[in-house]
Amino acid sequence: MSEIFIGIDLGGTNIKVGCFDSELNLLRKVSVATEADMGPAVVVERMTEAIIGLIEEAGFKLGDIAAAGIGTPGPADYRKGIIINSTNMPTFKNVPIRQMVSDALNCPVAFDNDANVACLGEFTAGAGKDVNDMVFFTLGTGIGGGIICDGKLVQGAGGNGAELGHIIIYPGGRSCNCGQKGCAEAYASASSTAKRAAEAVKAGVESSLKKVLEEKGDISCKDVYEHLKKGDALAKKITDETAEVLAILCINMLHTTEPKRIVFSGGMINAGDILLNRIKDYFDRQIWKLKKETVEICFATLGEDSGIIGAAAMGKELV
């Protein structure tokens, strides 16, 4: 009997679904609009239809699914399989998503937050596939995290481990949406990087970004990196501050779970080597001298597929 695994990446805008063979090779994938405003029942129905279409195209039927995995943004009760609420899916309140998907697909379903799932994807088939200990960061609206220790995802006592964006870097510093002050996320996420640039321009700092702010009413993280490449001094300062926070995060994680590799992912890695090299520079300058460190700091390699691959891998662990 053929066995296949399904990986689901449920986001506020799109549901991405992948169908994998027993070696976790991607056979086929599809993305459909979430239409979260229609409510959880409709979303799961749309998801199920997409999955059935996908596996039929791949030459399988519903009964061939051995297990599935699903990743969503938090906060959720991952142990109980419930989405508590969701910034991007306001109709989702206390939704027993794991059971709903399990009923629809008639198979066991694993459930975890999107950053942990993407971490597992990179660990299984991407930037971390040849190591046993890794740390993973997603740089987007916020900073998500994932930790692999000795080949296993760190879940934490309550299933909320690896909220690495909320490590405090500057005590008493910038206010974070979480209620703390000085979190890494309040400085070095894509949104916070853009926000710091806009604040500086509004405060009168000379920069070619001033025109962007005037024309678009806002500055994006992409704008910052574009103007950095053109030599803008403010864009350089903002990037340096972001890189320094990310380097301190790397140092702190090295002294915690001592990964062999640290992987950055998310929209902000489009900035490319100019960002990666700054992070490595700050790391090398600030890391201890007691022993030579050989941790590798790099970018993710799977792009948007990390979520469906990690979800399928998580499902596979169930059987």
Q: List interacting residues with its own copies (CB under 8 A).
A: 75, 131-133, 147, 149-150, 152, 154-164, 166-171, 176, 178-181, 244, 248, 251-253, 255-260, 286-291, 294-295
* Smallest distance from its own copies to CB 77, Å: 10
The nearer residue to its own copies, 48 or 160, going by C-beta atoms, is: 160
* Smallest distance from its own copies to CB 94, Å: 14
The nearer residue to its own copies, 102 or 191, going by C-beta atoms, is: 191
Tokens describing residue 211: 């025109």
* Smallest distance from its own copies to CB 289, Å: 3
The nearer residue to its own copies, 207 or 239, going by C-beta atoms, is: 239
Decide: 4 and 20 in contact? Cβ < 8 Å: yes
* Smallest distance from its own copies to CB 109, Å: 21
Q: Which residues contact 96 (CB under 8 A, 6 or more apart)?
A: 80, 81, 82
* Smallest distance from its own copies to CB 179, Å: 3
The nearer residue to its own copies, 157 or 203, going by C-beta atoms, is: 157
Tokens describing residue 275: 């960002």
* Smallest distance from its own copies to CB 161, Å: 4
The nearer residue to its own copies, 30 or 168, going by C-beta atoms, is: 168
The bridge status of strand 152-153 relative to strand 4-10 is unpaired
The nearer residue to its own copies, 47 or 135, going by C-beta atoms, is: 135
